Amino acid sequence: ILPLLSYYTFVIVSLLSLFLFLSHIFLFFFFFLMIRRPPRSTLSSSSAASDVYKRQVSTQSTGTLGDTAMGRRKSAAKAPAKKKQPKVATVFDCPFCNTKSAVECSIDKRRMLGTVSCRICSAEYQLMTDYLTEPIDVYCAWIDHCEEVNEEQD
């Protein structure tokens, strides 16, 4: 009876190991097919899942797998880089003494007053400003004022 018992034990153990092996293979293929297969139950043209399936098939057939391929996420769009605004000059040439880079423009935003002054000949001009005024605007207003004075004298 002992050899018969060991035979049945061997058969039972081998059947259990075969069952475990087959169950692992079944689970692997079952999950693999669940992940990779397109939906079969929704082939009607009005179904949203069918539209997704058609879109995936069309991108795969054209050869452009890119970010819309099956199983990939779309990449996040990068924000466009901000362009640096050019700085406006604050130092200019003096129209009276013809010295380069001798005129400095400053704007007092609190008092809303723009000032232009030459370091060499001490020529000065002041102008009421607003929040949009830049130093170049104050300098151009000074040049315009100088031209008006010259026209009056002629």
What pLDDT is stored for residue 67 in this prediction?
46
Residue of 88, 92, 113 whose CA lies nearest to 103: 92
What pLDDT is stored for residue 94 in this prediction?
92
pLDDT digits (tens, 9 = 90+) for 15-52: 889 888 888 887 777 666 666 555 555 555 555 555 55
pLDDT digits (tens, 9 = 90+) for 43-65: 555 555 555 555 555 555 445 54
Average model confidence (pLDDT) across the chain: 78
- Quote the CA–CA distance of 152 and 51 in Å, as a whole number: 79
Residue 10 pLDDT > 70: yes
What pLDDT is stored for residue 83 in this prediction?
85
Residue 122 pLDDT > 70: yes
The least confident of 41-45, 74-78, 110-114, 147-151 is 41-45
User: The tokens 């129209």 sit on which residue?
Assistant: 95
pLDDT digits (tens, 9 = 90+) for 68-96: 455 566 667 788 888 888 887 889 999 89
The band of 111, judged by pLDDT with boundaries at 50, 70 and 90, is very high
